[in-house]
Amino acid sequence: MVDVFTREQRSKIMSAVKGRGNKGTELKLVKIFRKAQIIGWRRHRPVFGKPDFIFPAKRVAVFVDGCFWHGCPDHGMVPASNSEFWREKIERNRRRDKLVGKTLKMSGWRVVRIWQHELHDQKRVLRRISRSLFLGG
């Protein structure tokens, strides 16, 4: 299907679209934390890389990465339409994720990255979070 807008017009339209973040996945993790009575977490704090959750007392940063946006090896896919753009976009996201993780670690933070699809396995998520919070690893 041919776009009725020029490339510049389409770019202006798309830049006005505001993302809603990953609110749904964050709320799933909130439920997991509450069910397991995990306390001490905070959201929307000004920490480098904008972690979805932080545990300030333990200096643990938790990111919930969407399978599409962060290039999940199991579920990530590149759309057939405009594939070169999406391939580059997802690769930039992955490079940024590595830089954020490395920078936080150098600043004394432990970083936990959870794939969106992993939220279905609550026990596994809790093991990973608990290990970072209580065992220091």
Asked if 111 and 101 touch (Cβ cutoff 8 Å), the reply is yes
Distance CA 2, CA 40 (A): 51
Distance CA 131, CA 108 (A): 16
Asked if 60 and 51 touch (Cβ cutoff 8 Å), the reply is no
Asked if 125 and 75 touch (Cβ cutoff 8 Å), the reply is no
Give the strand order in the sheet containing 60-65. 53-55, 60-65, 110-115
* pLDDT surpassing 60 at residue 137: no
Q: Which bin fits 7, alpha (ψ -120 to 50), beta or left (φ > 0)?
A: alpha
84-93 pLDDT, tens digit each: 998 999 999 9
Q: Where are the alpha helices (DSSP H) in the chain?
A: 7-15, 23-35, 83-106, 122-134
| Domains of the chain with bracketed CATH | 26-134 (3.40.960.10)
* pLDDT surpassing 70 at residue 19: no
pLDDT of residue 45: 92
52-106 pLDDT, tens digit each: 999 999 999 999 998 888 888 888 888 888 889 989 999 999 999 999 999 999 9
Residue 39: pLDDT band by 50, 70, 90 thresholds? very high
* pLDDT surpassing 70 at residue 22: no
Return the bridge partners of 113, or none.
63
Query: For the whole prediction, is pTM greater than 0.85?
Result: no
